[in-house]
Amino acid sequence: MISKRSFCFTLSLTLLLSFSFLSADEPVATIDKKVSSLKCFIMKTRPVAGKKVVEYKDAQLYVCCSACVARVKKYPEKYEGKANHQLVYTGQYKQTLCPITGSELTDDSPKFKVDGGVLGAVEVHVASTKEVASLKAMEIDDQINALFGTAAFKKGKFVKVKKDKKG
């Protein structure tokens, strides 16, 4: 006869292996890796890994606590640039046009790296070197708003990235 302790151990081990096997096929591994070192875009010193998630634009935002969840829900326009930046950083959204001019992009279009520090670095394509020079002259918060704010997100026609379903 099997002991209660052995039964619990076996059941726990079986469940653990089942869940880890199921999650191996999940395309969120890239998001998880990026989120693991990410800081909250509201409380910039606090990590978001394993914390709170806010449903936003048919995707997920990662914040550090319930208070930040409430802030995003109450004042979404205040945080839109940083929230959209996080969606692009985590690979949930991607741009299709220049977020400054709305122009088509080519393989030769200049790139600009938005070094968000604890918010994550994102490389964005822009229409010309004129936009790159303009962005370089800005502070980081202004760069984020110029590239990911309400108007820029519309002009850049950022779209949700469809996840591949394996198997």
pLDDT number for residue 34: 76
pLDDT number for residue 8: 41
Amino acid 126 reads: V
Q: Which long-range contacts (CB under 8 A, 24 or more apart) does 56-63 make?
A: 56/83, 56/87, 57/84, 57/87, 57/93, 57/160, 58/160, 59/87, 59/92, 59/93, 59/160, 60/90, 60/92, 61/86, 61/87, 62/35, 62/38, 62/86, 62/90
pLDDT along the chain (167 residues), means of 10: 48 37 41 79 86 90 93 93 94 95 94 88 94 95 95 95 65
Report the 10 Å Cβ neighbour count for 4.
7
pLDDT number for residue 30: 58
Report the 10 Å Cβ neighbour count for 161.
15
DSSP letter for 121, please. Answer: E
Contacts of 156 (CB under 8 A, 6+ apart): 95, 96, 97, 98, 99, 102, 124, 147
Residue 124 exposure: Cα atoms within 13 Å on the Cβ side: 39
pLDDT number for residue 165: 56
Q: Which residues pair with 54 in a beta bridge?
A: 61
pLDDT number for residue 11: 39
pLDDT number for residue 2: 53
